Structure 1
């Protein structure tokens, strides 16, 4: 293969965080990149749009949090972050509880005032259940927080989210559930947390500055043409689609957002409210202005409805059960035998990544790709 026959060094398919970081780093090293995206905007799922002067997170809440100082410094090159702390509230049939589970939650539930009292109630609720090795999400959750919290604040929400009973979900999904015996409503334990002032588009625009980008372009509509454009491809879409579903389809969960602009300055008093009962069809309501402490006269909310996934739907969450993980391994082996393509991001790596993890993955692949430069 002669490099001179290609117009670009890298074709980057997808302009989310992985694609944008890779393109930025390649461009810094003097390589010519083209970024294409099938949506009508750049930025993938971190894309924001302005409505009534409010930065609306188009694809659900994105809260940046990390313990990795290097990743934090990396994103701060492109935007300043505010000091937003995620403190969601759970709404169970109109009863409100603080998240993550902490002394405020336990007081509201049981009127206990000390950590010892709260721990004793959880112990009483779990001691006769003999759950040593939790076999599924239900057992794992009850072992961690007892039956009351499981029934009110976990079961309905989780079953809506995944579209299947908690007994059929793997225990690991909830292993990192924050449970605190302090009066602390900060959802994340990470040192660094915030929202970019001016929205995530500032970061994407900074990463893709001076790089040629085309939107409304689906790589698969004219795959042969796009494969002729660059020496190498960075692919951030679905890995099974790239290999034409050779071993079968990987499964995902999808989401649907219902957005409304309301003629009030403050709808729910918090950015994220989870609806944990089984009856309410949506899992949460996001009130976007609270991410940036907005003082606008109006407000914008998004209701988030989990949805089953099909090929025309947007894939949001990989379903990392044994069946899918072993299927992904087969695709990963194919990817390893395709050296002219770099696979990265949530869909290409079939992993539920947070934003800082996507950036870390991109920078790792960059290091590997350019180690001799």
Structure 2
């Protein structure tokens, strides 16, 4: 049997491990430097409130890929869940993403869909032909007023820079709707696992050919000499090469935890769009499991900051200097024959859970076919 090392016990690593193990042709070691599986999707019950907490911030599973949806459901029950985000700006609560209700409330109108489309079009900056920056993208499609209200302050806090310094691609994935649909996502399948994400990943890793070692740090390229036939690496690409070309830029988040009786905010996630409010959003985790009942509650203020050496990286910044550094590391990767880089950190891309699972399934299948 071939011996495989998988670095990282998040979704990428777990999907690879599960797919390879089921063939019966591989022994797989999965290592993770944290004291739990699940990566940033890790969930566990808060002992004081019994609420299932998303330890690294909210994760709502959504996809239009039936194969991915059926795959994750084979490891546990996903309950239907629609993410309805609110945003507070200047003392008013608005519905997000921007939809017909948001537009009518903000401008004090009673527009129908076509009237709203024409109104927003008239507000947009028609002089911007090809938006290159976040700010240009917003101004072209929703206009100065909605940009300043819902995107400027929040984005500046989230990314630690003026939105004009950010690429337009960050905003392109956020919809604007001209009906009253306040579902944050457009995907066909949306849900949250009944027993949390860590239970799903534990079932993926529950195989006699898989051995898990937690609190074990991967030491970089030198670990290739450990007798493994292949390594699947899901950690930061720059860390693998001991940062020899420099560190890639990430934003990270940290949380301030609160508990109280009853219901704190009545919604899973509320954004705080005002720049003067130091946190970006508040998430109250009992609302991610509406099928459960809890007399107490736990909620978190979320703050964004630059990633220091000891921080967990969350969001790849992908600024011009980062992309230059990334090319150096990608050149290094191209010279390796027995290492596969996959997942958000190893490919330095923003990926949702369904993208990660889809790519990991495809990667595992190609690897198996290549070996046969």
TM-score normalised by the chain length of structure 1: 0.94
Residue 267 of structure 1 corresponds to which residue in structure 2? 264
Contact 2:316–2:349, Cα closer than 8 Å, also in 1: yes
Does 1:72 pair with 2:69? yes
Contact 1:112–1:118, Cα closer than 8 Å, also in 2: no
Residue 8 of structure 2 corresponds to which residue in structure 1? 14
CA shift digits 1:93-112 (9 cap, x unpaired): 32100011101101211132
Moved more, 286-295 or 224-233: 224-233
Does 1:168 pair with 2:165? yes
CA shift digits 1:7-60 (9 cap, x unpaired): x71111110100111111111112101111111111101100101221100001
1:204 to 197, 201, 215: 201
Unmatched 5+ stretches in structure 2:
none
2:280 to 278, 283, 287: 283
1:343–1:223 CA distance, 2 compared to 1 (3 A):
closer
SS in 1 for 2:253: strand
Question: Post-superposition shift, 1:213?
Answer: 0.6
Contact 1:289–1:299, Cα closer than 8 Å, also in 2: yes
Report the RMSD for the aligned CA atoms in angstroms. 1.6
CA shift digits 1:241-268 (9 cap, x unpaired): 111222221111111112222222x111
Matches within 5 A, 1:121-140: 121-126=119-124, 130-140=127-137
Between Structure 1 and Structure 2, how many residues are aligned?
A: 364
TM-score normalised by the chain length of structure 2: 0.94
Residue 43 of structure 1 corresponds to which residue in structure 2? 38
Please list every run of at least 4 consecutive aligned residues from structure 1 whose deviation after the TM superposition is greater than 3 angstroms. 222-227
CA shift digits 1:47-86 (9 cap, x unpaired): 0010122110000110000010000000000111111101
SS in 1 for 2:295: coil
Alpha-carbon distance between aligned partners in 1 of 2:84 and 2:90, rounded to the nearest angstrom: 19
1:111–1:77 CA distance, 2 compared to 1 (3 A):
same
1:88 to 85, 88, 93: 85
Does 1:147 pair with 2:144? yes
Question: Post-superposition shift, 1:226?
Answer: 7.2
Alpha-carbon distance between aligned partners in 2 of 1:227 and 1:60, rounded to the nearest angstrom: 36
Residue 102 of structure 1 corresponds to which residue in structure 2? 99
Does 1:295 pair with 2:293? yes
Question: Post-superposition shift, 1:120?
Answer: 3.2
Contact 2:221–2:240, Cα closer than 8 Å, also in 1: no
Residue 26 of structure 1 corresponds to which residue in structure 2? 20
Alpha-carbon distance between aligned partners in 1 of 2:227 and 2:58, rounded to the nearest angstrom: 35
Residue 324 of structure 2 corresponds to which residue in structure 1? 326
1:300–1:229 CA distance, 2 compared to 1 (3 A):
farther
Residue 230 of structure 1 corresponds to which residue in structure 2? 228
Contact 2:53–2:285, Cα closer than 8 Å, also in 1: yes
Contact 2:61–2:192, Cα closer than 8 Å, also in 1: yes
Question: Post-superposition shift, 1:124?
Answer: 2.9
SS in 2 for 1:248: coil
Unmatched 5+ stretches in structure 1:
none
Alpha-carbon distance between aligned partners in 1 of 2:338 and 2:117, rounded to the nearest angstrom: 55
2:306 to 308, 313, 329: 308
Does 1:191 pair with 2:188? yes
Alpha-carbon distance between aligned partners in 2 of 1:94 and 1:289, rounded to the nearest angstrom: 24
Contact 1:219–1:226, Cα closer than 8 Å, also in 2: no
Residue 347 of structure 1 corresponds to which residue in structure 2? 345
